[in-house]
Amino acid sequence: MLSPSVSQKMASFTVKPNREDLQLLKQFIEDGTITPVIDRTYPLAQVPEAIRYLEEGHARGKVVITL
């Protein structure tokens, strides 16, 4: 969400994943070079609650939906 009181720009891009990049990313995760931050996990049945949580601006990491 964009805040009306803060100057923000939004951009999108797409990436075509390739094997080498995915292997490098896997290595970074395995050796701890990068660590994903998971704020909360919700089951699929609670997607509306997860979206509300995101919209309210509470998330300080990724919000994960489990199947």
Considering its fold, how many domains does the chain have in total? 1
pLDDT, tens digit, 9 for 90 and up, residues 9-21: 667 778 788 999 9
Q: Residue 9 falls within a domain, yes or no?
A: no
Range of the domain at 51: 36-67
In a domain, 42, yes or no: yes
Q: What pLDDT is recorded for position 36?
A: 84
Query: Residue 2 domain-assigned?
Result: no
Residue 55 within any structural domain of the chain: yes
- Residue 61 forms part of a structural domain: yes
**Distance of alpha carbon 33 from alpha carbon 65, whole angstroms:** 24
Average per-residue pLDDT for the chain: 87
Q: What is the pLDDT of residue 2?
A: 53
Segment 27-35 long-range contacts (CB within 8 Å, at least 24 positions apart) = none
Question: Could you give the CA distance from residue 42 to residue 53 in angstroms, rounded to a whole number?
Answer: 11
Within a domain: residue 40? yes
On whether residue 22 sits in a domain, the answer given is: no
Instruction: Output the six-digit token pair for 46.
Output: 């609670």
